[in-house]
Amino acid sequence: MKSVLISTIVHRLGLGLGLALALGACATTGASTLDREPHAGSRVQLDLVPHADATRVFPAAIDPRLPSADRMSHQILAELGDAASIEVKLCVVPDGSVSSVEVLSSSRLAAFDDSVMADAMHWRFAPQPGPATVRTCERATITYRPAA
């Protein structure tokens, strides 16, 4: 697996203030590099776009990775260049598991889109209080940068 950089910008609407959270870290105001392996690898950036009437903060991701995209990194470099982006709708249930991922805007490479969808379904997020039937959903842009 490659290390990933996850940076999430969540805007609190109505207050006009930006609140930056680094996924995989607790309440930080910048980007966090998750280096669990000794060598640098591909990078993933996840930017959440809150709904217009949102007043909550989306739960933080716990060590999200895109291993399927890593396996096709040469194709991504050849067809999309040094970065591939996809806009999705992520829904998370209170236990922190992903209940659904929906493509809102494709990367133009169907195989990459499919790999993001498959990998994101295995991501874990910080648990949130609430009944198991409640889902928290947000729009997110996932940007993947293959290792050179």
pLDDT single digits (tens) 19-51? 222 233 333 333 333 334 434 567 777 776 666
- Domain ranges within the chain, ordered by starting residue: 4-145
* CATH number, domain 4-145: 3.30.2420.10
Residue in 86, 68, 73 with CA at minimum distance from that of residue 42? 73
Tokens found for residue 3: 């290390």
**Per-residue pLDDT reduced to its tens digit, 113-141:** 999 999 999 999 999 888 888 899 999 99
Other beta carbons within 10 angstroms of residue 42's beta carbon come to 21
- CB of 82 closer than 8 Å to CB of 74: no
The whole-angstrom separation of Cα 142 and Cα 49 is: 11
Residue 136 Cα to chain centre, angstroms? 14
The whole-angstrom separation of Cα 113 and Cα 65 is: 14
Tokens found for residue 42: 């591909």
Tokens found for residue 25: 């870290």
- What is residue 142's predicted lDDT score, i.e. its pLDDT? 94
Instruction: Using the predicted structure, report yes or no on whether residue 53 has a pLDDT greater than 90.
Output: no
**Per-residue pLDDT reduced to its tens digit, 66-119:** 999 999 999 999 999 999 999 999 999 999 999 999 999 999 999 999 999 999
Tokens found for residue 15: 């207050």
Residue recorded with tokens 């940007």: 143
